[in-house]
Amino acid sequence: MGMHDPGRMRAGLRATRAAAARSVGTITLDSYTRTGDLGSARRALDEGIDLNGFPIVSHGPELTRAMLDGVCDGDFPVQVRHGSAAPQDIFSALMRAGIDATEGGPVSYCLPYSRTPLSDSVANWAACCRLLAELPEFGVEPHLETFGGCMLGQLCPPSLLVAISLLEGMFFRQHGIRSVSLSYAQQTHAGQDEEAILSLHRLAGELLGDHDWHVVLYTYMGVYPSTSRGANALLAEAADLAVRTGAARLIVKTVAESYRIPTVQENVSALEYAAAVARRSRRSMIIGAPSDTGIYEQAWAIVQAVLDLDADLGVALCRAFELGYLDVPYCLHPDNARRTRSRIARDGRLVWAEIGSLPIAHALDDVEHPELGSSGLLSALSYVVRKFDGDLLEDDELPTADLEAG
């Protein structure tokens, strides 16, 4: 949720806080601010031109503080979301405005969103972490969420999402951030996602220990169902998955996701619907043994290969992409080797079709090498839409938004 007008932004946050769900606020920044084009952001404000987010740098700390006054507190934290590979001005602005939570990462806010050299992004994010790490001196513990588990939103196999999420979380820690969250984006198969998130928990426990960390799940970030029924079913699956796997937060999507930016009320409705599904899931949850298709072993192999490259995680990340130990399918960034490919198997699982130089060959039972082609890629991108808007839902009964306390 991001509006350029402070009054509208404040109203959106207040509505989110008042939702019949335990919620946190988000401020999404505009594209000019994200790319560092602060002059254009300033001109748009001066000329009354709408922006697609909140220009936190151009508005300045006093205006942002006033917008948050009486809204942001210990019961309702607010997080800035931006998408910048060079976020120094953004970090400075949010800190001066009294905001202590944001998200991103040197890899996850570079490769999908820009052509900034990865080495530059790593240096920028190291500087920003060190800046944010100064807040405890003033009695505030900052929080930083890695976006690494959401690379490109779709068609990135779970083991690589888990590995990048862990590596970015460790990068934050290395540069002084003590409170972190690790992201994972819902993919194409609920059972596979369950295995992936539990693997993320396990690896975080091993690599981050008992320090302050938690897992955040993103509702599917690819091409979204276009029917209300399909959109609600996908969100319900995400909420149920969050409960089953112990995720602390869920980023929701709305019924409007496939065709326009959602309204505040649609966002609130999605929050309330997800909360209702989560309450129902907690009452009826039966925990069984998760599947084991090798996600933990693959993710561990990737992480270990990167850690072995250099004690400085920034150096190690850059070197890992040079060697192809990290290689994101279908990502066109110049620093990405572009030798990996994925596909959706017949059972709906997202699997490797080409692994390039990823250090996981020993952890794979088999890798098929189908000729995907443009039509196959388009079919894979629309798989979730067909699944949730199509015949597979005809006989399913969707949960209702029972908002009773529970």
The C-alpha angle 123, 144, 210, rounded to 5 degrees, equals 110
**The predicted structure's pLDDT at residue 396:** 47
Torsion of CA 122, 198, 81, 318, to 10 degrees: 10
Is 215 strand, coil or helix? strand
366 confidence band (pLDDT: 50, 70, 90): low
Tokens 């083991």 sit at which residue? 159
State yes or no: pLDDT of 219 exceeds 70: yes
* CATH architecture entry for 142-406: Alpha-Beta Barrel (3.20)
Residues 6+ away with beta carbon under 8 Å from 76: 13, 17, 23, 24, 25
pLDDT exceeds cutoff 70 at 375: yes
What pLDDT does 362 receive?
A: 87
What is the structure's pLDDT at 156?
Answer: 95
pLDDT in tens, 259-283: 898 999 999 999 999 999 999 987 6
Provide CB contacts within 8 A for 6, sequence distance 6+: 54, 59, 63, 64, 66, 67
Whether the CB-CB separation of 253 and 231 falls below 8 Å is answered with: yes
Which of the two residues, 17 and 291, has the higher pLDDT score? 17
> How many residues in total does the chain contain?
406
Indicate the average pLDDT of the chain: 92
Query: What is the per-residue pLDDT across 181-190, written as a single tens digit (0 to 9) for each?
Result: 999 999 999 9
Residue 34 pLDDT: 96
**Residue 324: pLDDT band by 50, 70, 90 thresholds?**
very high
| 8 Å CB contact between 384 and 223 | yes
Residue 406 has pLDDT above 50, yes or no: no
CA distance 60 to 220: 33
pLDDT given at position 368: 63
Tell me the C-alpha distance between 107 and 382, whole Å.
26
What is the pLDDT averaged over residues 298-304? 98
**CB-CB contact of 88 with 131 (8 Å):** yes
Say which residues have a Cβ less than 8 Å from residue 395's Cβ, sequence separation at least 6: none
- What is the rounded distance in angstroms from the CA atom of residue 48 to the CA atom of residue 35? 20
Average pLDDT over residues 170-197: 97
**Are 193 and 356 contacting, i.e. CB atoms less than 8 angstroms apart?**
no
pLDDT tens-digit readout, 12-56? 999 999 999 999 999 999 999 999 999 999 999 999 999 999 999
Name the strand (E) or helix (H) holding 94.
Answer: helix 88-96
Which residues have CB under 8 Å from 13's CB, separation 6+? 1, 25, 27, 68, 71, 72, 76, 78
pLDDT of residue 98: 95
| Half-sphere exposure at residue 264, Cβ-oriented, CA atoms within 13 angstroms | 17
What residues does each domain of the chain span?
A: 142-406
**What whole-number distance in Å separates Cα of residue 197 and Cα of residue 132?**
27
Query: Does the pLDDT value for residue 165 go beyond 90?
Result: yes
Whether residue 404 is predicted with pLDDT greater than 50 in this model: the reply is no
Question: What are the Cα distances from residue 364, in Å, to 117, 194, 295, 355?
Answer: 31, 19, 9, 10
170-174, 252-256, 376-380: range with lowest mean pLDDT? 376-380
CA distance 341 to 35: 29
Give the pLDDT band of residue 369 (cuts 50, 70, 90): low
Which pLDDT value is given to residue 394? 47
| Axis crossing angle, helix 313-323 with helix 295-307, rounded to the nearest 10 | 110
Q: What is the pLDDT of residue 370?
A: 67
Determine how many CB atoms are found less than 10 A away from the CB of residue 227. Answer: 15
Give the closest residue to 181 by CA, choosing from 149, 223, 224, 215: 215
pLDDT of residue 371: 64
> Which has the higher per-residue pLDDT, 297 or 367?
297
Tell me the backbone φ, ψ of residue 89, rounded to 5 degrees: -65, -35
Q: What number is the average pLDDT over the span 201-208?
A: 96
